[in-house]
Amino acid sequence: MLAVNPSLAPKPRPTLPVPIKVLIADDSAVVRGLVARWIGEAGFTVVGTASNGRIAVEMMTRHDPDVVLLDIDMPELDGTEALPRMLAASPTVQVVMMSTLTTRNADISLKCLALGAVDYLAKPESNRGVTTSDAFRAELVERVRLFGAARARRRGPAPAPIAPGTPTSPSLSSAPPATAPRPSAPIVLRPKARAVTPRVFLVGASTGGPRAVGEMLEKIGAATLRRVPILIVQHMPPIFTAVFAEHLATRTGLTAAEGKSDERLEPGRIYVAPGGRHMGLTGGPGREPVIRLDDGPLVNFCRPAVDVLFKDAATLFGPATLSVVLTGMGSDGTHGARALVEAGGAVLAQDEATSTVWGMPGSVAKAGLAQAVLPLPEIGLALRALLTGQGA
């Protein structure tokens, strides 16, 4: 057998991070220029800018972007018309809708989420507002980072350029990175809560939530939902939450609206936390629980915050509380979920595979606070069983 000098043996090719490719579609040249600059400064690659939806759709096949920032109002082909064509061209592309904060645009944005957009971003009302808003810039960059990384991971790392003369072979060219990703820690489920008939049903969600919440409630069914009041904290700006409630009312056939201070809880009614305000509960011995709203500090960088509602419910309803944490970035809901399980309540969480972002439900699951971690299609069925006393 011939001896082989180890220094001459072919080595696995190093890998480089896959660049996140972004396409910007907006009829304002000022917005396109600013956003392109911000994206570039954040280390992402702008593969194209388009002044209308037609041009943007044509760019899809040429550039295969990971993320599309898609304005709603554009000439020739607007965002709502361009969206389905983009998804047809590239089913995995991550489309973030952008619009100014109006009731009309909130309604359109929510419809686009139902059609396959992954998120929405409220734009300042003027070009000057876009120029001076640090918050808008930070939110935009964070969404590109989040959704771009999610899509890029599916493609795997990009190989580094091969130096001339480097030995190669089919087996080496497809070798995995030298450093494999660490396996995730196993999820430990909490024992099922003691069988108590739920008196209230709580929902917490963020990114990807509007579509997930609607699908889940539909799966539970109106007949079952009429047994309890349903309180929802969905991270959204003002105006959007009121429109979101209207969409839920249409989808479920139940009465749904933003919660109001001192409003009594009625079975079969959906209460949505108003954008920009915390929604909790107040009550006490001999007093019926009612909704409370406040403008207190951000909790987990959020207002409304899931933790606020969950903690109040733990105090007032204890083991008669049923809750679920759905898709969303961050960890809002984890402290509240801990309070709920310590009070004897039940917490379920959406699984990673069906979550747009496995931040909030992942945090709850990894903390060992969920009695079940389920894909979205199964969560509604599990909740229906618990609400009807069949899931004990």
* Structure-token pair, residue 295: 């403008």
How many helices (DSSP H) and strands (DSSP E) are in the chain?
Answer: 14, 16
Residue 235: active-site member? yes
What pTM did the predictor assign?
0.85
Closest CA to 282 of 294, 268, 296, 299: 294
pLDDT digits (tens, 9 = 90+) for 42-89: 999 999 999 999 999 999 999 999 999 999 999 999 999 999 999 999
> CB neighbours of 174 closer than 8 A, spacing ≥ 6?
none
Buried b (16+ CB within 10 A) or exposed e, 298-310: ebbebbbbbbbbb
The residue from 278, 332, 335, 363 that is catalytic is 332
User: Coil, helix or strand for 22?
Assistant: strand
The DSSP code for 207 is: T
Residues in a beta bridge with 348 = 324, 372
Q: Which of 99, 109, 206, 355 is catalytic?
A: 206
The pLDDT value recorded for residue 309 is 98
Cα gap 388→386, rounded to integer Å: 5
347, 319 in Cβ contact below 8 A? no
Q: Is 323 a catalytic residue?
A: no
pLDDT in tens, 195-216: 799 999 999 999 999 999 999 9
Does the annotation mark 206 as catalytic?
A: yes
- From 109, 235, 247, 335, the catalytic residue: 235
Distance between CA atoms of 151 and 376, rounded to whole angstroms? Answer: 20
E strand or H helix that includes residue 142: helix 134-155
Q: How confident is the model at residue 295 (pLDDT cuts 50, 70, 90)?
A: very high
Question: Is the confidence at residue 182, as pLDDT, over 50?
Answer: no
- Longest alpha-carbon distance in the chain: 90
